[in-house]
Amino acid sequence: MPRLTFRGRTWTRDRAMVMAIVNRTPDSFYDHGATFAEQAARDAVTAAVREGADVIDIGGVPASPGSEVTEADEIERVVPTVEWVRSQFPDVVISVDTFRAGPADAVCKAGADLVNDNWAAADPGILEVAARHGAGYVSAHTDHVAPRTEPHRPRYEDVVASVVDQTVALAERAVAEGVPADGVLIDPAIDFSKNTLHSLAVLREIDRMVATGWPVLLAMSNKTVVGESLDVPLGERLTGTLAATALAADRGVAMVRAHQVRATRETCEMVATVRGERRPSRTVRLLA
């Protein structure tokens, strides 16, 4: 697995790392505000760490269109949680899901290690912020769509080529601006500017991203691609999510973003064990 370092925290794993999702928003597509309250967010972080999360990803703005969230609102939502996580879990990697330089600066000052920018440097100042703080950066593919918008009938000649070309170019730009190279990941941004057929094509050929040499973050937990592929509602997408996660882990993705931490961690561990990259936790049967 790739070696990743986020502000001095170096991680090597014999499996794909697990990034736990904690939304400080009242209108998340998945949990509809279950962790909007500060104490609920803290409880979710504690549970995620206990279940084996390597990274805690905290977000204060939903990706989907909706009510305006000002920079001040975002900072107020996220910074106290980051400060608390840093004090309680000094070894965990803290990621913040933000697309704006101001909030990125505030959370890095509060102790965040990784800027998870879902909108591909739509605010170009976000790269300078990550560089100045020595934080990691996630280079995502959105095909130049403005933050919190959805395109009408997106089209690609080759969606996988678009994903590879744009994420690699942004990763290289981030490093050129001073972001530490060993803290940069590329993210195909499943379902962002992509219909289900596009997302499935990317998942099918995720090894093309892995082959670039940049560590790949897969963020597809419970997304529409699963719901439409299996014709299942939001609450019944775990099986499909884990199936795709297993295939991607086998192809070599470095990190998986997840709502259900324990199930995702065990999926990644099982894949790594079958591949011979991880030893079984115990071997007793027919050996004693």
Q: Which of 6-20, 121-135, 192-206 has the lowest mean pLDDT?
A: 6-20
Q: Model confidence at 13, in pLDDT bands (50, 70, 90)?
A: confident
State residue 254's pLDDT score: 97
- In angstroms, the CA 234 to CA 250 distance is 25
Q: Model confidence at 151, in pLDDT bands (50, 70, 90)?
A: confident
Q: Model confidence at 186, in pLDDT bands (50, 70, 90)?
A: very high
Distance separating the N- and C-terminal Cα atoms of the chain: 32
In angstroms, the Cα distances linking 165 to 48, 140, 170 are 33, 11, 9
State residue 148's pLDDT score: 93
Q: What is the mean pLDDT of residues 58-79?
A: 94
Is 283 within the bounds of a domain? no
Residue 288 in this model has a pLDDT that exceeds 80: no
CA 167 to the chain's CA centroid: 14
Residue 52 in this model has a pLDDT that exceeds 70: yes
Is 230 within the bounds of a domain? yes
In angstroms, the Cα distances linking 184 to 9, 44, 137, 173 are 13, 26, 5, 11
Is 288 within the bounds of a domain? no
Residue 29 in this model has a pLDDT that exceeds 80: no
DSSP string, 184-215: EEEE--TTTT--HHHHHHHHHTHHHHHTTSS-
Residue 269 in this model has a pLDDT that exceeds 90: yes
- In angstroms, the CA 44 to CA 249 distance is 25
Q: What is the mean pLDDT of residues 142-164?
A: 95
- In angstroms, the CA 218 to CA 9 distance is 21
Q: Which of 22-31, 95-104, 144-153, 191-200 has the lowest mean pLDDT?
A: 22-31
Q: Which range marks the domain in which residue 138 is found?
A: 4-274
Is 138 within the bounds of a domain? yes
Indicate the pTM of the whole model.
0.95
Is 200 within the bounds of a domain? yes
Q: Model confidence at 1, in pLDDT bands (50, 70, 90)?
A: low
Backbone angles phi, psi at 189, to 5 degrees: 55, 65
Residue 280 in this model has a pLDDT that exceeds 80: yes
What's the number of domains the chain is made of? 1
Nearest to 54 by CA among 12, 23, 24, 83: 12
Burial class (CB in 10 A: 0-12, 13-18, 19+), 219: buried
- Percent pLDDT > 70 in the chain is 99
State residue 166's pLDDT score: 98
Q: What is the chain's mean pLDDT, rounded?
A: 96
Q: What is the mean pLDDT of residues 180-204?
A: 97
CB under 8 A, 24+ apart: contacts of 100-104: 100/71, 100/74, 100/126, 101/125, 101/126, 101/128, 101/129, 102/71, 102/75, 103/60, 103/71, 103/74, 103/75, 103/78, 104/129, 104/130
Is 281 within the bounds of a domain? no
Q: What is the mean pLDDT of residues 195-223?
A: 98
Q: Domain holding 158: CATH number? A: 3.20.20.20
In angstroms, the Cα distances linking 118 to 83, 87, 148, 279 are 22, 26, 10, 34
Is 284 within the bounds of a domain? no
Q: Model confidence at 11, in pLDDT bands (50, 70, 90)?
A: confident
Q: What is the mean pLDDT of residues 159-178?
A: 98
State residue 200's pLDDT score: 98
User: In this predicted model, what pLDDT tens digit does every residue of 137-149 receive, in sequence order?
Assistant: 999 999 999 999 9
- DSSP SS3 for 166: helix
Is 152 within the bounds of a domain? yes
